[in-house]
Amino acid sequence: MGQATALQRTSRRRGRPETQKSALVQRLLPLPWQLWPAEARLLMGLAGFWSVAGLVVLASASWWVALREMGDGGFYLKRQAIWLMASWSLLAITISTSLRRWLRWSGPGLWMGCLLIAATLVMGTTVNGASRWLVLGPLQMQPSELVKPFVVLQAANLFAPWNRMSLDQKLLWLGSFGGLLLLILKQPNLSTAALMGLTLWMVALAAGLRWRSLLGTAMAGSLLGTASILINEYQRIRVVSFLDPWNDPMGDGYQLVQSLLAIGSGGWMGQGYGLSTQKLQYLPIQSTDFIYAVFAEEFGFVGSVLLLLFLMLVAWVGLRVALRCRSNQARLVAIGCTTILVGQSILNIAVASGAMPTTGLPLPLISYGGNSLMSSLVILGLLIRCSLESTGLIGGRSNKRQRSVRQR
């Protein structure tokens, strides 16, 4: 009897940690893994592969400059790994939070982003003629990156019920978006403003707004971008150097010329991992804005094609998620998230390849920077959450159904 009682107590003690672990997993995963849609599973796999590949590429691109400037070749890699762990925690929180709750937070989040971006104009750190950063002790915050998820969410809030909204509400949120874009242009940060404008336009297009309004908005945005280039001298110089970088290869066209030399040096198969020569002392900001040039030099044309195919896969999965969504708001969130992730990647590659003027857009999950990592993984988390809620097993208003699913 005594031995049996002792065995029962031991089994109970062993069972408690397992029960606690299962409860923790249930909290982190809003839906059991076996019930996840194929799109959600694929997105999780793509996010993991993208994150690890980003660390591998960054290690090669930043090692030499980190060794020269910091005395530690792994300096930027270690910091990026820490930010990546924090960003994956945010991804888990995003997935476990209902889309309805995120949509409720989107308005205040958008306005908070506007305030922080306005603060950069007053007390921000100026780098290369642009004030985009707020320094808070050891941390650097780039509000224009962190506000991106809230732009997507509030765009869905605005355009999904567009025909049922009052004129006052439309003017309020259109004015808020317009103010946000103007503040970003004032930094100046034309590339981020263009990306957000493109995202808003795509969400409005998917919502079914009139073509006349969309064309008018596109023309107004083009005029605003042109005015920003004419007003800001450093943007104007970038455009001129983009048109003919070889006219001043050691001056204003230096960045683009070195980037093109790196890409051209890659050939078909590349120089090999870690063997880029342009990253040593020629290519500027090789671990952030021009990291694609290092990638292309080391992995060549074949590697670049594989990267584009990867982005096409992300876009395809994102569109499948949008088509399977049960509500217009969720569908628009999925389209906005896909537009930002893929659109920003294409813009970064276009800049490094000389197809667009030099901008300050990072390559998502690959370029060095904690703000970009957090923003990109939260956006990926929103896309995965849209896929999970498309099953009808979570989200919506049925709390009883959610509890029964978690108990299975």
Q: What is the pLDDT of residues 164-177, one digit of tens each?
A: 999 999 999 999 99
Nearest CA-CA partner of 386 in 28, 160, 95 = 95
The answer on pLDDT for 405 being more than 50 is no
For residue 407, give both structure tokens. 């108990």
- Residue 137 in any domain: the answer is yes
- Residue 11 in any domain: the answer is no
Q: Which residues on adjacent β-strands are paired with residue 136? A: 139
The string of DSSP codes covering 237-259 is HHHHHHH-GGGSTTTTTHHHHHH
Listed range (15-29, 60-74, 128-142, 315-329) with the worst mean pLDDT: 15-29
Q: Domain range holding 96?
A: 36-396
The answer on pLDDT for 26 being more than 80 is no
- Residue 201 in any domain: the answer is yes
- Residue 388 in any domain: the answer is yes
- Residue 365 in any domain: the answer is yes
What is the domain count for the chain?
1
- Residue 327 in any domain: the answer is yes
- Residue 15 in any domain: the answer is no
- Residue 238 in any domain: the answer is yes
Q: What is the pLDDT of residues 84-123, one digit of tens each?
A: 999 999 999 999 999 999 999 999 999 999 999 999 988 8
For residue 40, give both structure tokens. 């959600």
DSSP 247: G
* 139-141 and 130-136 beta bridge pairing: antiparallel
The answer on pLDDT for 253 being more than 70 is yes
